[in-house]
Amino acid sequence: MDRRRFFTSASLGGGLLFHPQLFSNFSMTSTKIQSIENKFPLAISTWNNIKASRVAGESLEQNADALTSAINGVAVEEANQTNRSVGYGGAPDRSGKVTLDACIMDSTGNCGSVMAVENVVHVAALARDVMEKTPHVILTGNGARKFAIQQGYQTVDLLTSESHQLWLEWLQNEQFKPVINAGNHDTIGMLCIDKSNHVAGACTTSGLAYKMEGRVGDSPIIGSGLYIDNEIGGAVATGLGEEVIKTVGSFLIVELIRQGLSPQEACEKAIERIVKGRKNLDFQVAYLAVNKKGDIGAYSIHKGFTYAQYKNGQTKEIRSDSVY
């Protein structure tokens, strides 16, 4: 097991697209953050999504609640056309369609989810709208898209020319080999603890590149890709969604923390549940978790998983431990 850690600082940036209310509780004008030696607010996100964690952290510093801040943070990657696993520019399915999955969960235990949505960039914000403005928890496909249009979201072709080109190249061999860790820039799961010590989270993805049409992974499934219990903490998952779903990974981690494990121990147990007795481990799964005190855990099957942490005005990339 390797226990190396490394740190990278980065600065704020990145434009957000297409959702007028995204920053309703958050002013972008003041970026000066006072560094207070405190655990809260805290924002952590999967992979090296430094900008996203910084945006979430600054949102929290300006007194936005944990859910608003998590959604503001992940919106950075949803709009980032170079991230091939999230939002605009995400890799398409085998038929060439980009379909997005997302869910959010707040500190009161409410949640919302959208699955297989086309043409909408900010699907985590859309998942919040499902929670707040409909009697339902989940909307899928065309229904989710129509709801987004009703709510004033702009529609856009999510397939960029780069993603289109890569898909055309993929079609020449048509092999499905989920590659996770590609460029260390994957599905973003974000956990935030605000100044009132409330926990919330968001998870958003374009899913596995060249998935079957109609396939949905763990990311929009409450309990699998994300779970929050405001008395305990929260967890998010990234990696091969099929394996996360089978073990209801994020819920498992929060329940293990409830039973007294640290977030690190809980993430390790959840990974152990996947790898135990398995011969073929040519896939990646990684978890990130936090408890109410702000202790963080991260663990993956293979090395390469990192997370981005915002705390005390600083954003760092931190390498997770792994089984291999």
Positions annotated as catalytic residues are 187
By CB under 6 A, tell whether 207 contacts ligand SD4: yes
Cβ proximity of 209 and 178 under 8 Å: yes
Listed ranges 143-151, 213-221, 228-236, 314-322: which one lies at the site for ligand SD4 (CB under 6 A): 213-221
Look at residues 248, 253, 285, 228 and name the one whose alpha carbon lies nearest to residue 103: 228
Q: How far apart are CA 218 and CA 178, in angstroms?
A: 14
Closest to ligand SD4 by CB, 131 or 240: 240
Region 72-91 residues binding ligand SD4, contact defined as CB under 6 A: 85
Region 164-183 residues binding ligand SD4, contact defined as CB under 6 A: 180
Secondary structure (3-state) at 209: coil
Choosing from 56, 131, 208, 252, the residue that interacts with ligand SD4 (CB under 6 A) is 208
Q: What pairs with residue 205 in β-bridges?
A: 101
User: CA 20: distance to chain centroid?
Assistant: 21
By CB under 6 A, tell whether 241 contacts ligand SD4: yes
Choosing from 218, 229, 255, 321, the residue that interacts with ligand SD4 (CB under 6 A) is 218
Closest to ligand SD4 by CB, 64 or 244: 244
Look at residues 313, 217, 288, 299 and name the one whose alpha carbon lies nearest to residue 46: 288
Choosing from 89, 239, 263, 294, the residue that interacts with ligand SD4 (CB under 6 A) is 239
By CB under 6 A, tell whether 186 contacts ligand SD4: yes
Percent helix, strand, coil in the chain (nearest 5)? 25, 20, 50
CB of residue 187 vs ligand SD4: minimum separation in angstroms?
Answer: 3
Supply angle C-alpha 123, 128, 33, rounded to 5.
90
Which residues in this chain contact ligand SD4 in the complex, by CB under 6 A? 85, 180, 186-187, 205, 207-208, 217-219, 238-241
